[in-house]
Amino acid sequence: MNHASFRLRSSDSASTILVVDDDHVFRGAVSSLLRSVGHTVQEFSNPLDMLAHPQARAAHCMILDVRLQGHSGLEVQTQMTALGMCLPIIFMTGHGDVPMSVKAMKAGAVDFFSKPFNHQDFLDSVSKAVSHYREDLEKREQLQSLHEHFSRLTSREKQVMEGVVDGLLNKQIANNLNISEITVKVHRANTMRKMGVTTLADLVRVSQLLTPQ
């Protein structure tokens, strides 16, 4: 299939894809296909080498064969989860491996393709996986940053923030905490500054993000 017209979206630029397959011919073909549309590719014949590679955690997606010599793709998937490697996995399957691939999907894989596969469908799946991973990564980084900001608040500032997001007036917060209204205003201003927000709506949104669903 001619895939020359396929282009990566701007959000997919400079993405790194791991290809893990012990069939060097197939691995090379998949890697060439991915490189042809702008992806950076790291190839591995052995999943243990991949798990130990320093750049593996910086990848955006993995192409993993279900059956590897001496290894199971499902076992690799489990090991990655245990190591905190949450990048999306697209499985490659041979004849008769579809039930195993369905099991992999239930365990968190994003897609699977039977060999041989349609190039465009495969590239579309990789692009979608990379985009979703980037979005999730951005959300995780944002949440981590918010938790770091929140940890800098004093106990009193956290109490004031709780009152503010509950819709209480400064006077009501002051009465509840047995402090002056002026003190509430000072704590409120410090809270807004430390949380990096300028409006009440932003403070409420931040509080919702910090609250476990």
> Do 131 and 161 sit in the same domain of this protein?
no
Say if 4 falls within a structural domain.
no
Mean pLDDT over each residue of the chain, to the nearest integer: 86
| pTM > 0.85 | no
Instruction: Clarify whether residues 28 and 107 are in a common domain.
Output: yes
Q: Are residues 49 and 117 in the same domain?
A: yes
What proportion of the chain, given as a percentage, has pLDDT over 90? 52
Whether residue 145 is contained in a domain is answered as no
Tell me: do 41 and 130 sit in the same domain.
yes
Are 117 and 47 found together in one domain?
A: yes
Could you give the percent of the chain with pLDDT greater than 70? 90
- Do 78 and 160 fall into the same domain? no
CATH of the domain at 162: 1.10.10.10
User: Does 110 map to a domain?
Assistant: yes
Whether residue 159 sits in one domain with residue 131: no
Over residues 4-58, the pLDDT tens digits come to: 333 444 344 568 999 999 889 999 999 999 999 999 999 999 888 998 888 888 8
**Mean pLDDT, rounded, for 63-86:** 85
Find the domain containing 161 and state its range.
152-210
What CA–CA distances, in Å, run from 178 to 155, 156, 163, 172? 14, 11, 13, 10
Give the residue from 139, 162, 178 where a domain finishes: 139
DSSP notation for the chain: ---TT----GGGTT-EEEEE-S-HHHHHHHHHHHHHTT-EEEEESSHHHHHH-TTGGG-SEEEEESEETTEEHHHHHHHHHHTT----EEEEE-TT-HHHHHHHHHTT--EEEESS--HHHHHHHHHHHHHHHHHHHHHHHHHHHHHHHHHTS-HHHHHHHHHHHTT--HHHHHHHHTS-HHHHHHHHHHHHHHHT--SHHHHHHHHHHHS--
Identify whether residues 126 and 47 lie together within a single domain: yes
Q: What's the domain count of the chain?
A: 2
| Integer angstrom CA distances of residue 5 from 8, 12, 28, 33 | 10, 16, 21, 13
For residue 1, being part of any structural domain is answered with no
Are 156 and 132 within one domain?
no
Which pLDDT does position 181 carry in this prediction?
93
Q: Mean pLDDT highest for which of 96-100, 104-108, 182-186? A: 182-186
